[in-house]
Amino acid sequence: MSETQKSEWFAEWFDTAYYHTLYKHRDFKEAERFISNLIEHLDIDEDAKCLDLACGKGRHSVFLNKKGLNVTGVDLSQNSIEAAAQFENERLRFDVHDMRTVYRENAYNVVFNLFTSFGYFDSNDDNIKVLRSIYSMLKEDGLLVVDFMNAHKTTNNLVAREEKEVDTINFNINRSYDGSHIFKDIRFEDEGSKFHFQERVQAITKQHFLEMFETTGFEVQEIYGSFSLDSYNPDLSDRLIFICKKK
């Protein structure tokens, strides 16, 4: 791992056991229904090769594979990939990889970027690097699925303070928005030591995404606002989901 990666918040926080403790109770059932809806809606062939970009511990990769797809999941976190590796089979593999760089050229029919696994960076240049690498990794007419939070609704309904107790650890969470990034400061104590981590995600709007897709050669096919593939409404939708095609 490079010195730059070590200094980036996600490289440190996502690689800790505390990250997985805090979010261990996340309900992914709705997201799995979303994946089922997508596979059916997009008519993804079982022979299609899929890349789950920023896959974490592989929950979505495993579900995609159970739906019959040939899947590779990649993530920057060594610990997450080690946890995901237990699920590997002939049509499911995992690897450590930075999504800003190309993993395999012209190798995939579909690239999935799910559960707000985008916009972690301070610079928009890095967002463009991610999209350019995805473009290079997709086969001709390949599809990109980006599932992001609806930043408009999220920033307008930000919960400033929250306390959560998980496995006897009391997590104190403070959220803020500076006009470009949503910050989540996470403080807690464990075994006599105090910890502080900060999540920092760009509040990327629909228009900004459209501009980035245009810049990097993607054609937006469809836009949805929920895992049920409802129409996007900036004030009401929880998600901002794009289906894009490599031009």
* HEC-encoded secondary structure of 117-149: CCCCCCCHHHHHHHHHHHHHHEEEEEEEEEEEE
Secondary structure class of 152 (helix, strand, coil): helix
**Domain range annotation of the chain:** 3-150+205-246, 154-199
Instruction: Quote the pTM value.
Output: 0.91
pLDDT tens for 35-44 read 999 999 999 9
Q: What is the pLDDT of residues 187-236, one digit of tens each?
A: 999 999 999 999 999 999 999 999 999 999 999 999 999 999 999 999 99
Residue 27 confidence (pLDDT): 66
Does the pLDDT value for residue 121 go beyond 80?
yes
60, containing H or E segment: helix 59-66
Region 3-150+205-246: CATH code: 3.40.50.150
Is 60 exceeded by the pLDDT of residue 154?
Answer: yes
- What pairs with residue 143 in β-bridges? 110, 245
- Mean per-residue pLDDT, 81-97: 97
Neighbouring-strand partners of residue 72: 51, 93
Sorted by sequence, the CB contacts under 8 Å of residue 62 that are 6+ apart come out as 84, 87, 92
Whether pLDDT at 6 is above 80: no
In the predicted model, is pLDDT for residue 2 greater than 70? no
pLDDT > 60? residue 57: yes
Query: Which of the four pLDDT bands, split at 50, 70 and 90, describes residue 3?
Result: very low
Percent of the chain with pLDDT over 90: 83
